[in-house]
Amino acid sequence: MKAEVLTQQRPQEDIQQDITQTEENETEKKESEKGSKKSAIIREIISWVKTIVLAFVIALFLNHFVIVNANVPTGSMQDTIQPGDRLIGSRLAYLKSEPERGDIIIFRFPLDEEENYIKRVIGLPGEHIEIRDGLVYIDGSSQPLEETYLREEWYEKNDGISYDIPQDCYFVMGDNRNNSLDGRYWAEEAVRYGLADSLEEAEKMEYCFVSREAVLGKALFRYFPSITWLASNPYDKAEEE
């Protein structure tokens, strides 16, 4: 009789074991799902980090070896370039050629190479340049340089200036000649900063000019607040005509 009772109770124990096993399986399944979700989140984070790092490396490479991203704070190049304009310049523009007269270049400021300036190339290496009555004469030419890009009549520091431009150097000025701290003023600034004892010494030390190695690139286009092409050279058009 007792044996029959034991036989009847055994299936209940098996059911309880099955329930316990099922609960354990569900717990393991939930823990596994949590682990899978956690792993998926970690993989997603790693993927985003890789993307951000790659984008940063590409941007760093482009900015140091391919393009120059410039923000213009002053009006020295008006009306060609306005204060607040943002530009892209090409570091590759002069790999196989040299800056030409009329090019707008981005360069390290001769008096402080931590600062970048943007101006237009007026005088080339080895040239003699004279400024008389608001006109620029190259190598003693009787015909002044035609400057259709000037903002207005030029009356500030526009007479009695001459330079012999050293080799591998350029003389640059802003298009807004009446409000541009450019090559005409840099010798005076060098003396004021204590970099030279006289204007003559400052000129000999080439503070009036932009050295070839200081040229970072050629301005290509403005992208803010509007897109405008800047790489066209006005003297190329004059030659075609």
29 catalytic, yes or no? no
Catalytic residue among 32, 96, 119, 157: 119
Residues 202 and 191 sit within 8 Å (Cβ to Cβ): yes
Contact partners, residue 56, CB within 8 Å, separation at least 6: none
Residues 133 and 80 sit within 8 Å (Cβ to Cβ): no
Residues 91 and 68 sit within 8 Å (Cβ to Cβ): yes
In whole angstroms, what separates CA 87 from the centre of its chain?
8
What mean pLDDT do residues 133-156 have?
Answer: 96
Give φ, ψ of 37 to 5 degrees.
Answer: -65, -40
226 catalytic, yes or no? no
Catalytic residue among 76, 90, 180, 218: 76
pTM: 0.78
What is the 3 state secondary structure string of 48-96? HHHHHHHHHHHHHHHHHHCEEEEECCCCCCCCCCCCCCEEEEECCCCCC
Could you read off the pLDDT of 149-168 as tens digits, one per residue? 999 999 999 999 999 999 99
Question: For strand 169-173 and strand 228-229, is the pairing parallel, antiparallel, or unpaired?
Answer: unpaired
Q: What is the pLDDT of residue 240?
A: 45
Q: Which of 116, 113, 70 is nearest to 207 (CA)?
A: 113
Which helix (H) or strand (E) covers residue 190, if one does?
helix 186-192
Could you read off the pLDDT of 211-240 as tens digits, one per residue? 999 999 999 999 999 999 999 999 985 444
Q: What is the pLDDT of residue 52?
A: 83
Give φ, ψ of 133 to 5 degrees.
Answer: 50, 40
Could you read off the pLDDT of 6-55 as tens digits, one per residue? 444 556 555 555 555 555 556 655 666 666 777 778 888 888 887 887 77
For residue 160, what are the CA distances in angstroms to 103, 121, 131, 132, 157? 25, 20, 6, 6, 8
Q: What is the pLDDT of residue 55?
A: 72
Could you read off the pLDDT of 159-206 as tens digits, one per residue? 999 999 999 999 999 999 999 999 999 999 999 999 999 999 999 999
Q: What is the pLDDT of residue 6?
A: 44
Position 132: which residue type? Answer: R
